[in-house]
Amino acid sequence: MPHIKVTPFETAKLDRLVATDPLFDFRAVPHNPNRETSPIELLGVEMEGERFVLEIHKRQGAYLIKPDKPTRPLDVNRIKRTLRYLAHAAELNIEQDNIALSSTKPPLAATYNKRIEDFESPDFGGRSIAIEVGFGSGRHLLYQAKAHPEVLHIGIEIHTPSAQQVLKQIQLQGLSNVWIVNYDARLLLEMLPSNVATALYVHFPVPWDKKPHRRVISEPFVAEAMRVLAPKGVLELRTDSDHYYAYALEVFSQRERVQFEVTKNHEAAIRSKYEDRWQRQGKNIYTLRLIAEEESPEISREYDFSFDRPLKPYDALLALPKEAIIRSDHFVHFERRYRMVTEEGVVLKCSFGSFDRPEHKLITVRETQAAYYPQAPVRSMTNSRAHHTIGAFIYA
Ligand SMILES: C[S@@+](CC[C@H](N)C(=O)[O-])C[C@H]1O[C@@H](n2cnc3c(N)ncnc32)[C@H](O)[C@@H]1O
């Protein structure tokens, strides 16, 4: 992760930048500094149209400046450019860094690198769609994209380095029918329109035998998959795990009017690295194909994530409960509170939404206006419920 380690400096000098330089949005300090691992300051920045947050930490007699995890851009060079700019503009004395821009690496294939927000009103260009969840090294995704140039292939991968690697491959191979989304597939699926996909591949998902709630396949996931698939579309699960196979069979069987096929050790057109390994170990490989039966109704997207009522005073916001607020189908946790330094205001660091795929956002409050930072949460029903709970705590 790009970072700079600088000689400790008077952070108040950043206020001039926040006041005069459009790159800097706010500076905030913790309301109750406590944990050693917590940042001592936050800096909201906007570089090349993308907003994110830099954290300043105290480390071994120096200050470490790095992006915070939930908001950090996928484009590593963008983070590096921001840190270089900050170091120059604030005349910081860099002791150590890893922000050299790599000119030999090709730039990320930006047109194929989609953000979750791009799916709020997606334009697939009239193409039919195939989706792959957790594509890992991308062998199957790239193979399918080359074999079916008329189909738009959407690969969803939660692991950022894998997403970056495959983006480079797309660029190198000159493919124009692949979109990559570096996100949790369970959430993205909720955003997709109904009846759009002809195939949804889940190949060799992590079995999570000890933490089954983290599995990709679940009843809600299968329900969403069936909604997103057009009639006769196929959800294809491949696994080498006997446990996962038995579990998926049970989940699939619970659906009404279900039609599925099971094959064992079926030779696929392309083998992933995992499959190669399992085959060498002589493991059984199961393929389950669940077929969508009927047309599904369209989902509602009428969610409003603005804060449109008068807010509590700043002191009351800084005293919001520290414990997570648990509801039956969502939660809200005001994890940390910060005071803005450059102006009257408060920054709340929150996690909220569904238990197994929470959102992590800041809420900035200034001039009696509250807003999510860097942008509103994903437009899912669970997030909408959590938004109402947040409102119940921050409105006067
Ligand atoms: C065992 S690997 C299999 C990769 C690939 N499908 C193959 O067959 O080689 C599972 C992949 O799923 C990804 N993954 C796990 N949970 C995910 C989720 N909720 N959303 C998207 N990707 C996920 C992991 O990061 C990992 O790359």
Q: Which residues contact 390 (CB under 8 A, 6 or more apart)?
A: 332, 350, 352, 363
One domain for residues 283 and 318:
no
One domain for residues 269 and 346:
no
User: Quick check: 57 and 64 in contact, CB under 8 A?
Assistant: yes
Quick one: which atom of ligand 1 is closest to the CA of 202? 6
One domain for residues 158 and 222:
yes
Is the preceding peptide bond at 374 cis, omega within 30 degrees of 0?
A: yes
How many other CB atoms are there within 10 angstroms of residue 57's CB atom? Answer: 17
The values of phi and psi at residue 9, to 5°, are -140, 165
One domain for residues 50 and 157:
no
One domain for residues 93 and 197:
no
Which residue minimizes the CA distance to atom 25 of ligand 1? 159
CA distance 248 to 299: 25
One domain for residues 145 and 250:
yes
Residue type, 53: V
| 185 Cβ inside 6 Å of ligand 1 | yes
- Sheet with 260-264: strands ordered across: 113-114, 178-181, 152-156, 129-133, 197-203, 229-239, 286-291, 260-264
Domain assignment present for 106: no
pLDDT tens, per residue, the chain with 396 residues: 899 999 999 999 999 999 999 999 999 999 876 666 788 999 999 999 999 999 999 988 999 999 998 888 878 899 999 999 999 999 999 999 999 886 655 555 567 889 887 888 889 999 999 999 999 999 999 999 999 999 999 999 999 889 989 998 998 999 999 999 998 898 888 889 999 999 999 999 999 988 888 899 999 899 999 999 999 999 999 999 999 999 999 999 988 877 889 999 888 888 888 888 888 888 899 999 999 988 999 887 788 999 999 999 999 999 999 999 999 889 999 999 999 998 899 999 999 998 877 899 999 999 889 999 998 998 888 899 999 999 999 999
On the CB side of 118, how many CA atoms lie within 13 Å of its CA?
A: 14
Helices (H), the chain: 14-20, 76-89, 139-147, 160-173, 185-191, 219-228, 242-253, 273-280, 314-318, 381-394
| 273 Cβ inside 6 Å of ligand 1 | yes
User: Quick check: 194 and 129 in contact, CB under 8 A?
Assistant: no
In the reported structure, the alpha carbon of residue 164 is separated from the centroid of ligand 1 by a whole-number distance in angstroms of: 14
CA distance 66 to 68: 6
Quick one: which atom of ligand 1 is closest to the CA of 275? 8
Pocket test for ligand 1, best of 133, 236, 285 (most atoms within 8 A of CB): 133
Give the residue from 53, 80, 97 where a domain finishes: 97
Nearest-Å Rg of the Cα atoms of the chain is 23
Helix (H) or strand (E) holding 361: strand 358-366
Tokens of 74: 């996928």
Single pTM value for the model: 0.73
State the DSSP code for 330.
-
- Whole domain around residue 128: which residue ranges? 122-291
In this structure, what CATH number is given to the domain that contains residue 196? 3.40.50.150
Domain assignment present for 108: no
